[in-house]
Amino acid sequence: MMAVPDPSALRDVDVAGLHRWLERHRGHVLDDVLDLVGQETPSDDPALLDRGLARLERWATGMLGQPRHRSRTDGGSHGDTLTLEFAGTGCAPVVLLGHYDTVWPAGTLADWPCTVDGDRATGPGIFDMKAGLVQAVWALRALSATGHQAPPVRLVLNGDEEIGSPVSRPVIERACAGAAAVLVFEGSAAGALKTGRKGVGIFDVTVTGREAHAGLEPEKGVSAIDEMARATLKLHALADPAAGTTVNVGLVQGGSAINVVAGRAAARVDVRVASRAEADRVDHALAHLKPHDPRAGITVTGEWNRPVMERTPAIAAMAGLARAAAAELGADLAEVSVGGASDGNFAAATGIPVLDGIGAVGDGAHARHEHVSVAALTERSAIAAAVLAAFPKGRTE
């Protein structure tokens, strides 16, 4: 298994030189970001996703040359997943992971066009995460242009991340098999790397009661709504803020008429946990959720949409390597754990070292103030390039 290179592997990497080369091409980097943002790719529009992925592939291969291997997985009603493998030196492949779909519906650009004002560039999907895709490709281009060795690379681009990666998850997991590490070019958290992400579970709770006339013979009924209200209290009581566990009953439906004791109720529940132990605790509680009235029934279905990404020693080592590269540029690179999930959760669950949040510096994911720092585009790309350049020099064990 490939060990994460020690920061000493950066001795022969000219991090400042990588940054200088990228700075000379800053205008082109920004143009590429704006071009990708200018092609709308909403998660629910297969035609636009297909068009956007074709454009993205043409650009990436124009920048990097033809890949050694190419595969494209049909996304069905979602976006396809494209994997491009490029040759390299000295170690197992490093996976570069990113998604090209966005939460923004078709037509958003009509009233929110891409704009640049000083260091601030805005547009739908620019922070989450089209700028990161550009940074990844330019990092590889910079290594080639400056004569640095690069490891073999698997560039994985998926079009269904914003809806939970239902099709791309197995593709991502296969890409991680035998890999040395994974770099996830999601946006940073106020500039910080993301070394921990919560696991996310989506569960459906269904209560079956017994209908009856609410005025004439209510005693013959069993209110599913009453049971759901009691169950909601139990579910919310599972939350443990100190442990990082949140539980939200976000959608509730039930009943058929105002004068009928409700015979059915349903709820959707969002659960987020920061550790496998908390996931197990919540699983046990959901499996033993019982009705107050024994004549009612409760069923729970659903799953953990994304596993927990805990800060392992390997993830900490990846952050340390990136931090050492940033220090060469006079930058202080922080790290945080966040409540949101990404495809990095899937990668981390395979046991591979993950560096997440190495993408754009900015803010406003899924919001109208979404933006990125123009200057940070080249700085982050240089840091990513330096991390990649360290792998051919790293030891194996």
Q: What is the pLDDT of residue 87?
A: 96
Q: What is the pLDDT of residue 394?
A: 66
Give the model's pLDDT for residue 3: 82
**HEC string of the chain?**
CECCCCHHHHHHCCHHHHHHHHHHCHHHHHHHHHHHHCCCCECCCHHHHHHHHHHHHHHHHHHHCCCCEEEEECCCCCCCEEEEEECCCCCCCEEEEEECCECCCCCHHHHCCCEEECCEEECCCHHHHHHHHHHHHHHHHHHHHCCCCCCCEEEEEECCHHHCCCCHHHHHHHHHCCCCEEEECCCCECCEEEEEECEEEEEEEEEECECCECCCCHHHCECHHHHHHHHHHHHHCCCEHHHCEEEEEEEEEECCCCCECCCEEEEEEEEEECCHHHHHHHHHHHHCCCCCCCCCEEEEEEEEEECCECCCHHHHHHHHHHHHHHHCCCCCCCEEEECCCCCHHHHHHCCCCEEECCCCCEECCCCCCCEEEHHHHHHHHHHHHHHHHHHHHCCEC
The pLDDT assigned to 70 comes to: 98
The first and second tokens of residue 253, run together, are 């439906």
Dihedral, 211, 217, 218, 223 alpha carbons, nearest 10 = -10
Give start-end residues of each CATH 3.40.630.10 domain in the chain. Answer: 7-197+309-393
pLDDT at residue 53, rounded to an integer: 98
CATH 3.30.70.360 range(s) for the chain read 199-306
Residues 6+ apart with CB under 8 A from 256: 211, 262, 263, 264
Task: For 278-309, write each residue's pLDDT tens digit.
Answer: 999 999 999 999 999 999 999 999 999 999 99
The CATH number of the structural domain formed by 7-197+309-393 is 3.40.630.10
Q: Top-level CATH class of 199-306? A: alpha beta
pTM: 0.90
pLDDT of residue 2: 63
Block means of pLDDT (10 residues each) for the chain, length 397 residues? 86 97 98 98 98 98 98 97 95 96 98 97 98 98 97 98 96 97 98 97 98 97 98 98 97 98 98 96 98 98 94 97 98 95 96 97 97 98 98 65
